Amino acid sequence: MSAIDTVPDTASPGWNKTGETSGIDAPSLKAWMDAGDTLLVDVREPHEFEHERIPSAFLVSMSRFEVESFPQVPGLKTVLVSEAGPRSVALAERLHDAGFKDIYALEGGLSAWKEAGFATES
């Protein structure tokens, strides 16, 4: 079993029974974003974020990450994004361990988002 399981569009909470990180693919994330019920958090470093990012994402870089100050918005699914996926999975696991709910990692990260043909901004 991989560290990330594919999550259907309707899945909630964001974790499977084994406690592993739930993943979401790029098309499902786009649908969630279009529905307006997603908080998109880019966990890359500031220079990466400034160069290119998914529209509506905000930055909480891994190097400055603190569980205590991470935004938790009831009613929204939180999706973490990194360049290829590993950083977002690592931080999602830390948030899960701290009791956060509805936390997802974008499978394949920003690279998968672009491969799916979705827009980025700089």
- Spatial contact of 13 and 96, defined as CB atoms under 8 Å apart: no
Nearest alpha carbon to residue 79 among 12, 17, 18, 19: 12
**DSSP code for 68:** G
Residue 10 lies in a domain: no
Query: Is a pLDDT exceeding 90 seen at residue 35?
Result: yes
Residue 11 lies in a domain: no
Residue 4 lies in a domain: no
Query: Whole-structure pTM over 0.75, yes or no?
Result: yes
What would the mean pLDDT of 20-41 be, rounded to a whole number?
91
Residue 66 lies in a domain: yes
d(CA 77, CA 16): 15
Q: How many domains would you assign to the chain?
A: 1
Paired tokens of 98: 């701290």
Q: Please write the tens of the pLDDT for every residue from 67-94.
A: 888 888 888 999 999 999 888 998 999 9
Residue 1 lies in a domain: no
**What was the pLDDT predicted at 36?**
93
**What was the pLDDT predicted at 28?**
94
d(CA 113, CA 25): 8
